[in-house]
Structure 1
Amino acid sequence: MSDTVDSPRPKQLTIRETSIPGMVLIDLPVHGDNRGWFKENWQREKMMALGLPDFGPVQNNISFNDKRGATRGIHAEPWDKYVSVATGRIFGAWVDLREGPSFGTVFTSEIGPDTAIFVPRGVGNSYQTLEDDTAYVYLVNDHWSPNAAYTFLNLEDETVAIEWPIPLAESERSVKDLAHPRLADVSPFAPLRTLVIGADGQLGRAIRKALPDADFANRLRVDLTKPETLDAVRWSDYDTVINAAAYTAVDEAETVEGRTACWDSNVTGLSRLAVVCCDNRLTLVHISSDYVFDGSGYAPRTETDALAPLGVYGQTKAAGEALVSQVPRHFVLRTSWVIGDGDNFVRTMSSLARRGIDPSVVDDQIGRLSFTDDIAAGIVHLLTVRPQYGIYNFTNEGPQVSWADIAKQVFEMTGHDPSRVTGISTAEYFAGKNAAPRPLNSRLALGKLAGTGFVPRDADEALRDYLQDAQRA
C-alpha cells in the first residue's frame, strides 16, 4: 500500500506518524529573512519530548545532487537514519523491508528544508531530486562497515509500484541500483535479537522457554570475567542483553578466594557489560537480590529504599545495581529466594521428606519465593510493555512467610507430615559455622511491578505446580 503526505511549512515543531511502524515525519520550523533562513535541523531534547527515539547518531553525511531527477535507492541498512534536506527538494520513498506483517509497506513524501523523517533500521530508503543543487543530509547511529548486512529493492519494483514524479526512464540512476532484486526475491531484514548471558543457570533455562528465539550464551562463549569473550560478540546484531549470570555462592564469597571471584564476576565483569550496552545503545536486563538490604525492620522494601548490604555477596549486588543504573536503557529485577530448574531449597526439602529426615529450618527470615518461570515471564513483560526504566522488585505474590513455613508446605504438598519440620532461629542455625550474614527481612514490595500491568502467580500456587512438575520428571 502507499501513503503520501503533503509537507506544508509548519509554524511549530511537530511529529506525524506514517504508515510504516516506527517511522515518523518531523515538521521543522524554518525562520527566514532577507538574508536567507535558519532551522534547528536536529534538536535532541525537543524531539525526544515529542516522542522521537533517542537513537544516538554518530555520523553526519551529505549527498549532493547537481541535477533534478537524480534517483537513489532503495537501500535498507542496519542502522537508524534521520533524513533532511539542506537545499532543494526531494521526493522520498520508503519501503518496509523488515521481517514481519508490515513487509512491503510503502510511504512517500516530499521533503524540503522544513521537513525531516526518522527512518528505522531495516526500512528501505530512496529519493528523487526535484530541483538542481539538492543537498540530502542524514544522521546515522552506526558507522558504515563493509561487513554489515544490507537489503536492497529495485526502484522499478511492480509490487510496491512507487509513483515517481519524474519517470525512472528519464532519471539518473547508478548501475548498482538498476540491478537490485524485485520484492519477491528480497530476503526480509532480520530483526535485532536478544542475547542471554548465563544461559545454563536456573534462570537462564527458564528464559530459554520464555524467549526461544533469543541467543543463549554459556560461560564458554561469554564470560564477564574475560574481556576477550565480550570483544568477540557482534553487538550490532542485538538490541537487548539479559544478564542471568552471577556469582551466587554467598558463604564462599566470605572467603579470601571467594571474595575475589565474587567481585570479579558481579562487579568488575558487570562493569564491562554495562560499558558495552552504553556504547551500543542496548537495553540491559539484570538480576539483583534482596541481599542488597540489611534485613532490618518488618516493612516490605521498596525500590527506592537505601541499600545496606551485610555481606560480600550483597555488597557486590548493590554495586552491580549502581553500575547498571548508568545504562540509559535498563531494567533491574530485584528478586529473593529464587527457585528453578536445579538444586535449591524446595528440592532439598522434598528429598529430606522422602528420605525420612526431619529438618531444622530457620523461622525468622521472612519473605517470598521467586520462581524462575515467573521471573522470565516478568522479563518478557517489561521488554514488551517498556515501562519506565529502572529497578523493579520481583517475587511471587502471596503472604510473607519463613523458610520453615515453606519447608512445612513442601512436606504437606508431597504427602508428608509438616510437623516433622522444626523451626530454629538464624543465629542458632549458623552458630559455629563460617557463613555469610542473612537478611532477616526479605520482604519486597511489588506495587511498582503491578503498576506496569504484571502480577506474578501466587507463591503457593507456583510451589504446588513446581512440585507436581518435579514428581512427573
Structure 2
Amino acid sequence: MAQTARQEGATAAVQFSKPLTAQPTTIPGLTLFDLNVHGDNRGWFKENWQRQKMTELGMPDFGPVQNNISFNASRGTTRGIHAEPWDKYISVATGSVFGAWVDLRQGSTFGKVFTAVIDPSTAIYVPRGVGNAFQSLEDNTAYTYLVNDHWSAEAQAQYTFLNLADSAVAIDWPISLDEAALSDKDRAHPPLTEVVPMAPTTTLVLGARGQLGRELSRQLADRPGVRALERDDFDLADPAAVGRIDWRRVGTVVNAAAYTAVDEAETEAGGAAAWAANAEGVARLAQACTQHQVTLIHVSTDYVFDGTREGAYAEADPLRPVNAYGTSKAAGDLAVGVVPRHYLLRTSWVIGEGKNFVRTMQSLAERGIAPSVVADQVGRLTFTRDLAEAIIHLRNGDAPYGTYNVTNGGEPGSWAEVARRVYADAGRPSSQITEVSTEEYFAGKSVARRPLNSVLDLAKLEATGFTPRDQWEALEEYLADSRP
C-alpha cells in the first residue's frame, strides 16, 4: 500500500508563505519538503534549493552538478519509472505533477511506494536507487531536478526500470495510463518480479594486506559491496590508479594504505616514495572523493606531531612533524581535510595481524634474547580490532565528519612497559628488558627522529558513543589469542 501525501488529480494551487519543513516518508532517505513561496500581484518567488537551510533540516549535502528541466506540454504526460545511480532533488517551476517513487534498492523496503503532488511550493529529495516517475496534472508543466553526477550513456546503462502499470506496486495514477501520454520505452519496462534491485554503493578498502586492512576485511566480510584492494589493485603512488575506478559505484573509501618505512623515508629514494604515496597519492584520492561525493575515511598517525607537548594531543593541535614520513602524512592530512565527507583518524602504535612490535618482543622472548627497549617514548597501543570497529562506528553512526584520534584507552605507557608485559606473559623475567633512552638506542645509527609523546586525546571519539578497550587489557587478550 502506497503512502500518499496530498494526492489529488486536480490542478494544485500554489500555497504561499509555508515555513520550510522536511517530512520523512516510508521510503528511507526519500524526503518531502514544503517550500516557502512568496507571492503578490506580480507572481511569486522561492528559494528552490538552499543548501544551508536544507542540510540543517537533514538533507544530505549531496553536491549537485547538473540541472535538468522536463517541459510537459499536455496534462497527463507520464514519465518513468527510473532508478538512477545518483541522488536527485525534484521540484516544479510551473504547473504541478503527481509523483510516484518506488524503492528499487536491495533491502527490506524493496518495492515500497510513496506518492505525492508536487507543485511550486513542494519538492522532494530522491536518494540513489529509488525509482522515480511523474504525471503532469496541468498543461505546460515545467518539472526540474538537480542531480549529483553528470548524465552519460554509460551512466544510463546503470539505470533500474519498473513498469508504470505494475500491479505489485499498484500506483493509483490520477489519469488512467490508457489515456496518458507515455513513451514506448516506458510502456515496455519490466514488472517488479523481473527487476534486479540496484546494489548498494561499494566500499573500497585500500591496503588490504596491511594489519588494519586484514582486520577490516574480516569485520566487513559479511557486508555486501565491500572490495578489499591490495597494492597490485590500487597503488596510491600510481597517478593513474584513481582513473581506473568507476566512481559512480563507490560510496565509501577506507584508506588503510600508506608508505610506512619511517627510517627509509629519510633517504632520497625513500623520501620520494613516501611523498608519492602519502601526500600526492592521498591528494588525488581526496580530489576524486570530493568530485564524486564519496565518503573518505583516511588513517593517519601521531607522527604528524613533534611529540613535545605536555599531555595528550588533541585533534586541533598544530601539525609539526619531525621526520620525512611524518611530513608526508601531514601533507595527506591537509588534502583529506578539504573533502566534504571525510573522517580523518589519527592513531599510534598499531598492533594487529602481521609484523609489529608485540610480535617482535614475543619472538625475542621465545629465543631468550634480552633486548634494550626505549623507555622515553610514551603512548598507547592501537589494536586493529578497535581501530576497525571505530571506523565502522563513525561511518554508520551519526558522528560529524572531521578528524578523530583513535587509539586504545587506559593509562599510557612506554615501549619498555609493553615489552615487560610481553616478556611476563612468556614467563620471562622483566629484568631481561633493559630500559634505554631514544638517544641511546639510536646512537650511531642513521634513523628518523621519533616523537617522544604519542599520547592522543580520545574525548572527541568517546563523545560519539565509542569507547576503545583499555590498552593493557587488549594486550592481554592479544597475547592469549597468540598462545598455542
Q: Normalising to structure 2: TM-score of the pair?
A: 0.95
Match of 2:472 in 1: 460
- Bigger drift between 2-11 and 408-417 goes to 2-11
Out of 371, 374, 391, which is 1:359 matched to? 371
1:433-448 equivalence runs, <5 A:
433-448=445-460
Tell me how far apart the structure 1 counterparts of residues 413 and 42 of structure 2 sit (CA, whole Å): 75
Tell me how far apart the structure 2 counterparts of residues 63 and 230 of structure 1 sit (CA, whole Å): 34
User: In the alignment, is residue 2 of structure 1 matched against residue 11 of structure 2?
Assistant: no
Match of 1:290 in 2: 302
1:15-414 equivalence runs, <5 A:
15-148=22-155, 149-212=158-221, 213=223, 214-414=226-426
Please state whether the residue corresponding to 1:170 is helix, strand or coil. Answer: coil
Kindly state the Cα deviation for residue 396 of structure 1 after the two structures are TM-superposed: 0.7
List, as ranges, runs of 4+ consecutive aligned residues in structure 1 with deviation greater than 6 Å: none
Kindly state the Cα deviation for residue 298 of structure 1 after the two structures are TM-superposed: 3.5
| Partner AA of 1:101 in structure 2 | S
Kindly state the Cα deviation for residue 34 of structure 1 after the two structures are TM-superposed: 2.3
Kindly state the Cα deviation for residue 35 of structure 1 after the two structures are TM-superposed: 2.5
Kindly state the Cα deviation for residue 195 of structure 1 after the two structures are TM-superposed: 0.7
| Partner AA of 2:393 in structure 1 | H
| Partner AA of 2:417 in structure 1 | D
Tell me how far apart the structure 2 counterparts of residues 415 and 196 of structure 1 sit (CA, whole Å): 38
- Bigger drift between 44-53 and 417-426 goes to 44-53
Conserved? CA contact 1:364–1:425, under 8 Å: yes
| Number of equivalent positions | 472
- Structure 2: gaps of 5 or more residues: 8-13
- Structure 1: gaps of 5 or more residues: none
Conserved? CA contact 1:28–1:114, under 8 Å: yes
Kindly state the Cα deviation for residue 49 of structure 1 after the two structures are TM-superposed: 2.3
Tell me how far apart the structure 1 counterparts of residues 404 and 36 of structure 2 sit (CA, whole Å): 40
Please state whether the residue corresponding to 2:39 is helix, strand or coil. Answer: strand
Match of 2:10 in 1: none
Kindly state the Cα deviation for residue 251 of structure 1 after the two structures are TM-superposed: 0.8
Kindly state the Cα deviation for residue 87 of structure 1 after the two structures are TM-superposed: 1.3
Deviations 1:66-116 (A, max 9, x none): 111111111101111111111111111111111111111111101111111
Kindly state the Cα deviation for residue 46 of structure 1 after the two structures are TM-superposed: 2.1
Tell me how far apart the structure 2 counterparts of residues 30 and 389 of structure 1 sit (CA, whole Å): 32
Please state whether the residue corresponding to 2:482 is helix, strand or coil. Answer: helix
Kindly state the Cα deviation for residue 300 of structure 1 after the two structures are TM-superposed: 0.9
Kindly state the Cα deviation for residue 309 of structure 1 after the two structures are TM-superposed: 1.2
| Partner AA of 2:193 in structure 1 | A
Kindly state the Cα deviation for residue 465 of structure 1 after the two structures are TM-superposed: 2.0
Kindly state the Cα deviation for residue 181 of structure 1 after the two structures are TM-superposed: 1.2
Tell me how far apart the structure 1 counterparts of residues 239 and 272 of structure 2 sit (CA, whole Å): 17
- Name the Cα RMSD after superposition: 1.3
Kindly state the Cα deviation for residue 219 of structure 1 after the two structures are TM-superposed: 1.2
Please state whether the residue corresponding to 2:344 is helix, strand or coil. Answer: strand
| Partner AA of 1:71 in structure 2 | T
Tell me how far apart the structure 1 counterparts of residues 230 and 80 of structure 2 sit (CA, whole Å): 41
Deviations 1:387-438 (A, max 9, x none): 1211111111111111011001001112222221111111111111111111
> Among the aligned pairs, what percent are the same residue?
59
Kindly state the Cα deviation for residue 11 of structure 1 after the two structures are TM-superposed: 2.1
Please state whether the residue corresponding to 1:271 is helix, strand or coil. Answer: helix
Conserved? CA contact 1:70–1:173, under 8 Å: yes
Please state whether the residue corresponding to 1:412 is helix, strand or coil. Answer: helix
Conserved? CA contact 1:210–1:380, under 8 Å: no
Deviations 1:172-191 (A, max 9, x none): 11111111111111111111
Tell me how far apart the structure 2 counterparts of residues 229 and 43 of structure 1 sit (CA, whole Å): 36
Deviations 1:334-358 (A, max 9, x none): 1111111111110110011111111
Deviations 1:428-457 (A, max 9, x none): 111111111111111111111100100111
Please state whether the residue corresponding to 2:483 is helix, strand or coil. Answer: helix
Tell me how far apart the structure 2 counterparts of residues 424 and 31 of structure 1 sit (CA, whole Å): 74
Tell me how far apart the structure 2 counterparts of residues 416 and 436 of structure 1 sit (CA, whole Å): 31
Q: Normalising to structure 1: TM-score of the pair?
A: 0.97
Please state whether the residue corresponding to 2:101 is helix, strand or coil. Answer: strand
| Partner AA of 2:268 in structure 1 | V
| Partner AA of 1:34 in structure 2 | N
| Partner AA of 2:146 in structure 1 | L
Classify 1:297/1:51 alpha carbon distance in 2 versus 1 (closer, same or farther; 3 Å): closer
Conserved? CA contact 1:414–1:467, under 8 Å: no
Kindly state the Cα deviation for residue 280 of structure 1 after the two structures are TM-superposed: 0.8
Tell me how far apart the structure 2 counterparts of residues 428 and 202 of structure 1 sit (CA, whole Å): 29
| Partner AA of 2:52 in structure 1 | E
| Partner AA of 1:83 in structure 2 | I
Kindly state the Cα deviation for residue 386 of structure 1 after the two structures are TM-superposed: 3.5
Please state whether the residue corresponding to 2:287 is helix, strand or coil. Answer: helix
| Partner AA of 1:249 in structure 2 | A
Deviations 1:225-244 (A, max 9, x none): 11212111101111111111
| Partner AA of 1:471 in structure 2 | R
Deviations 1:205-242 (A, max 9, x none): 11101222411111112112112121111011111111
